[in-house]
Chains A and B, each alone.
Chain A
Amino acid sequence: MGTFQIDFGESAKAPERVIGIDLGTTNSLVAFMDLTGPRILTDEDGNRIVPSVAGVSDSGDFVVGNAARDLLLTHPERAIYSVKRLMGRGIADVADELKLFPFRLAQGSEQVLRVKLGEKILTPPEVSALILKRLKQIAEEHFGEPVTQAVITVPAYFNDAQRQATKDAGRIAGLEVLRLVNEPTAAALAYGLDKRQNGTIAVYDFGGGTFDISILKLHDGIFEVLATNGDTHLGGDDIDNLLIQIAIEDIESEWKVNLAGDAEGVQLLRRAVIAAKEQLSFVPAATIDLAYKGKTYQREVTRELFDRLITPIVNRSLEPCRECIADAKVTVQEIDEVVMVGGSTRIPLVRSAVEALFRSVPHTELNPDEVVALGAAVQAGILAGSVEDKLLLDVTPLSLGIETMGGLVSKLIHRNSTIPASATEQFTTAVEGQRNVLIHVVQGEREMVKDCRSLARFDLKDIAPMPAGLARIDVRFLVDANGILQVTARDARTGKEQSIEVKPSYGLTDEQVEAMIDESFAKADEDLKERQVREARNEADQIVRATEKAKQEDHFFELAEEERAAINRALTELLVVYHSDDYLLIRDKIEALNNATMHLAEIRMNTAVRSALKGTKI
């Protein structure tokens, strides 16, 4: 019974919420910007973090997060972690990963990687979509309403294919990805360093699987990225793998058993190594402690030894920093603040290396695991219109070029160009009557095509037959605000749009994504219906309880007899449909009961007002 509430009706329906998602290599989070600022949304058990692990349960259902992480131990063949490392990549790119990570590739992985998860075969965007769906669900349970729009963060150094794969994952999960935001830039937004109004800041982001460095200029709420650099293959995982390798050798000499081929053993060892690594950020020595198949292994690691072991890994992050400083055309002295992001920045050696390089004490006030998600929520607020004073101007991390004679690259859009950015190039035919022109687009800094990353081949089709060199086709390359390439072509003489066929070098075609969306929608529809029924029943519970209570009060008998009968009838009808699966029917009857009790509510309201005026308690 919606008694003391004032009904604003449908017209005042709030615009849809936009959530911010940090889809991390190791952990994922969802956040939202409300009136008080950005905050992390928690699941029903109060967890802020969803481990980026997906698996298939005993009953054949997909599970995500902690439940899937437990599967890693009991049924490693049915669970997968660090799938972000496979996003937008080809089989040749991941040869190194396959040695260190227990990814099981399925047949037909040439165009798009396919991983096996028990009996099921999924592409990396589909696995990521499982994680995104879980985050979406957390948000929906929090708000009690569907959520369909999101901002998702990506490593700044992600290339076009990796970004596209992330966007595909969003679509498959039923999320409209309003923007992909670079992780370090998001972190800068979260830190609210714009309070200092103007200045130059560096964001050092050492995550689970990727490393990014960005340098930004702040100007009255505008966050302008000057340069970015990084390594999509450098993260806390590398430290874990190094320690695991050493421990495996150690164990072999002690136990005379090689653990390397034993997925369960390695997984247990990974946990033991990570536990020791995390402790070493706070204590001078920790023990790698493994009990497996009746044997035990214990090895004390001092921080000093740990530091020596990981120095090469930490140093790998410093060269991108120096390049970034040079590209941003600033000096170390001109950088006012340094912000630390990512779990690996808790390691004392990482902090001291950053401090030495930038000659200033880095910011560590915000939880380095949460700051990216918080920033994603701020950007979501910007897009939703609730944050008006801030604006992000980001850059493209890699140069974009086309293949020319002799396998050379002609650069069209240089790295660190503010996006959206565009370039137009004119193409013509080489032989008489030629109907097609093929354009090969690559991304990277090297001079030879073979050293860059192939993005796609664009086929200009149906060119009118004419002598060689007469055709004039303007091709426009545009990198949008997500860092994703769009290509359009126009006949320069007729002004007519030129048809293009796109053949992406890696990743899913649009048709494949559509098929996955359809499949996932069939499931999502069921989930959604179930939730709507549950919500309708919750509402019915409330109004039934309120009505039953009001019926006990004197006011009820002030009503005319037919009014009372109408209320009773409406109440009974609602109880009859309560257990049906038709949420619209339940809502109908709720509405009917609401109408029937309108007069009663009014009487109660008036009495309440009168009592309040008299200063008496009701």
Chain B
Amino acid sequence: MDYFSVFGLEPHLSIDVEDLQARFYKLSREYHPDRFARASADEQQKALETTSMLNDGLRALKDPVRRAEYMLMRHGLETAQEKADVSPAMLEEVFELNEKLEELKGGDVSARPEIEAALAHFTELRDGLDGELTGLFAEYDWTKREDVLKRIRRLLNRRRYFENLVNEASKTLKA
């Protein structure tokens, strides 16, 4: 059973998260293993299965990026199948960031300001994709065209690329 139908939802990329959360609470009240603590072993197992489905489903659908990844997977378009397409200029920038990160890890604190600047830049690039994604979500829900899904996949891969850089930079700055 797919996660959308678990919550009684149409398989759309744009969903009302508050409504999803309300459906989750309602179903949890009904199916949680706590409600079946004294039921037969079979019923207990069923409650466990249903509730883990609800929890896994909420996690997959609540966050827009995960939701899109889930949709891609449903269509056999796993994000990992494709490499992020990054321009040579961008690669240059990433290379510089990696160098600075190594310097900081080696104890050279003078690398800090440049890392902070790069962090801000990549965060901006990542967040900049979110508006574009929202548009593509609506387009897919309307057209259900696979080429739209492929465009979404390309964006998600770019996004993950920036996300990894942002995480790496923040972690190194924090350490």
Contacts and interface: CB of A to CB of B under 8 A. Distances in A.
B51 A420 contact: yes
Contact of B32 (A18, A220, A391, A422): A391
A521 to B, nearest CB: 21
Interface stretch (A154-162, A380-388, A508-516, A577-585): A380-388
B146 interface: no
Given A418-B58, A422-B56, A15 B32 contact: no
B55 A481 contact: no
Contact of B52 (A379, A385, A422): A422
A67 interface: no
Contact of A383 (B37, B53, B56): B37
Given A222-B29, A391-B29, A393-B28, A420 B38 contact: no
Interface string A375-401: 000010011110000011100000000
Interface in A357-387: 379, 382-385
Given A219-B25, A418-B59, A179 B52 contact: no
Contacts of B59: 417-418, 421
B65 interface: no
Contacts of A420: 33, 48, 51-52, 55
A419 B55 contact: yes
Counting chain A CB atoms within 10 Å of each CB, which of B33, B37, B56 scores highest?
A: B37
A425 B37 CA distance: 29
Contact-size category for A: 20 to 34
A423 B38 CA distance: 26
A417 B33 contact: no
A226 interface: no
B99 interface: no
A417 B37 contact: no
Contacts of B56: 421-423
Contact of B48 (A15, A385, A480): A480
Nearest to A15: B38
A532 B37 CA distance: 28
A113 interface: no
Interface string B20-41: 0000010011001110011000
Contacts of B33: 420, 480-481
Interface in B120-173: none
A179 B29 contact: no
A382 B25 contact: no
Given A418-B55, A420-B51, A391 B38 contact: no
A384 B52 contact: no
A478 interface: yes
B39 to A, nearest CB: 10
A385 B38 contact: yes
A178 interface: yes
A478 B28 contact: no
A178 B37 contact: yes
Contacts of A220: 25
Contacts of B38: 15, 383-385
Interface in A402-432: 417-423
Contacts of A179: 34, 37
A456 B53 CA distance: 24
A417 B51 contact: no
Nearest to B50: A420
Nearest to A224: B25
Interface in B75-134: none
Given A384-B38, A481-B34, A222 B52 contact: no
Contacts of A422: 52-53, 56
A284 B48 CA distance: 53
A392 B34 contact: yes
A221 B59 CA distance: 21
Contacts of A478: 48, 52
A494 B51 CA distance: 26
Nearest to A414: B59
A392 B32 CA distance: 9
Nearest to A417: B59
Interface in B7-27: 25
A418 B48 CA distance: 12
A18 B52 CA distance: 25
Contact of A391 (B34, B48, B53, B58): B34
A393 B38 CA distance: 19
Interface string A234-268: 00000000000000000000000000000000000
12 contacts: A220-B25, A384-B37, A384-B38, A391-B29, A417-B59, A418-B58, A420-B33, A421-B56, A421-B59, A422-B56, A481-B32, A481-B51
Given A383-B34, A417-B55, A478-B52, 17 more contacts: A179-B34, A179-B37, A219-B25, A222-B28, A384-B37, A391-B32, A393-B32, A418-B58, A418-B59, A419-B55, A420-B33, A420-B52, A420-B55, A421-B52, A422-B52, A422-B53, A423-B56
Interface of B: 25, 28-29, 32-34, 37-38, 48, 51-53, 55-56, 58-59
